[in-house]
Structures are given as C-alpha cells and as structure tokens.
Amino acid sequence: MIQQGLVSVNGYTVRSVDHHVGKGSSVSIAQEQIDARLIRHIMLNKPIGVLTAAVDRKQKTVLDLLPKPFSTCGCMPVGRLDKDTEGLLILTTDGELAHRLLSPKRTVWKCYLAVVDGPLSSEDQEAFESGIPLSDMVALPARLEIIESSPVCSSAHVWVHEGKFHQVRRMFSARGRTVTSLKRLSVGPLKLDPDLKPGDYRELTEQELRLLYASTGIEESHDE
C-alpha cells in the first residue's frame, strides 16, 4: 500500500516503509483515517456463554466480540468472568493496571447481582462478613446485601475483593444455596454502563480512567 501511494501521515503521502509515525499522528489509508492507538481501555458487557479468554478453538471468547484493532494491540481481559456469568469486564493494554485491579492487597471491590434458590438471612450476611471456609481456602471477608428474600428465590448484592475460580457461587453453595444468575455490576469505581446490552462494548472515558487509576494507587494512566 505504501508503494502504491495509499498511505499518508498527517496529510502527507508516505513513500518509505521506514517512515516514523510519531505519537498522536494522523494515519490514513486510501484517504480513510484509521485509529492507530496502541493504548486501549474497554468496558464490555460480557454475555452468558462466552469465555473470558483470548483464543479458544471451539468456543467464542470475549475478544471475538471486539474488532481486530483491540486484539492486535494487545488489549486483554482483566481477570475472568465464568462462562455462565455476565456483566462488567474490563479489557486493557496496561498490564500494571490489570495487576493492581486483581491484587487482593489493593482491596478493589467488585459488586455482583446474585439470584439464588431459597431464602437468605442475617446469618448468611454474618458468614460472608466473617469469611467463608471453602474446600481449598477461606474466602476473604465479603459483604452481602439482601435485596429480596423468599422461600423459593432470593436476590442480593455481593461485594468481594478477590477473584478465585467460581468464588461467589462457591460461597453461596457453602451456605446451602445455588446461584441461578450472576452479573457483575462494578469494579472499584467503574460501573457497568446501563446502555450496554450483552455483547456491547465501549472505550472508557477520561473520567472513568482517572477514577480507575486512582483506585489502584497509580497516579497517571500514561494514556495519550
């Protein structure tokens, strides 16, 4: 395309493949401007049935829901949501941000909306706050806010700041309840955009990024 004169940078046709493209430059191919940013931060409303992974030969992954520019620049999911869990998933090219969001030492709270079979009680709330023993660990203290409780079905908000495999489901299971629906609503100060339907995504705003970086103790995002 360069040899054919189809590539231009800042309005000037590029003649050499060695041409340096500076930060903030405008790049066009066949007079159509492209987004050449290498730093990306995405909010995805992960749908049920999609794997939180980069690549899988048999099943659809969260990166399959995004255009190629996001995967080719190294934008990766922060942590995992189970295949049967929906809701807020952050994808970023910033490895340090991802690490801090996942580290239990940073106490970045994640909020989930859970629906379970059977009733929930103040005893369940106390158990979550104390830390629930599981088969291979003791889950760190969490918060359970009961929205509605009945003998057949209950709903609640759950806040945790660690992300072990199937943790929220296992915590309820230890209390004799089966989770029938689970949706992540927030990560730290970042809340799921209510306008995003399952499978939809958008890039984070500057304000959201500032709050997210501040919550992890990173002063600057190093974003363009």
- Distance between CA 9 and CA 19 in Å, rounded? 9
- Both 129 and 181 in one domain: the answer is yes
Residue 13 within a domain:
yes
- Distance between CA 39 and CA 70 in Å, rounded? 9
Is residue 183 a contact partner of residue 193, using CB atoms and an 8 Å limit? no
Q: Known catalytic residue: 223? A: no
Residue-wise pLDDT for 41-65, tens only, equals: 999 999 999 999 888 889 999 999 9
- Both 140 and 76 in one domain: the answer is no
- Distance between CA 102 and CA 105 in Å, rounded? 9
- Both 123 and 166 in one domain: the answer is yes
- Both 65 and 97 in one domain: the answer is yes
Residue-wise pLDDT for 179-200, tens only, equals: 999 999 999 999 999 999 999 9
Q: Residue 71's pLDDT band (boundaries 50, 70, 90)?
A: confident
Q: Which domain range does residue 194 map to?
A: 41-104+189-213
Percent of the chain with pLDDT over 90: 72
Residue the block writes with tokens 């089966």: 178
- Predicted local distance difference test score (pLDDT) of residue 220: 53
Here the CATH number for the domain that contains residue 30 is 3.10.290.10
Query: Pick the catalytic residue: 18, 35, 56, 82?
Result: 82
Three-state SS letters, 119-136: CCCHHHHHHHHHCCECCC
Residue 224 within a domain:
no
Residue 222 within a domain:
no
- Predicted local distance difference test score (pLDDT) of residue 172: 98
Residue 54 within a domain:
yes
Residue-wise pLDDT for 7-38, tens only, equals: 999 999 999 999 888 877 888 898 888 776 77
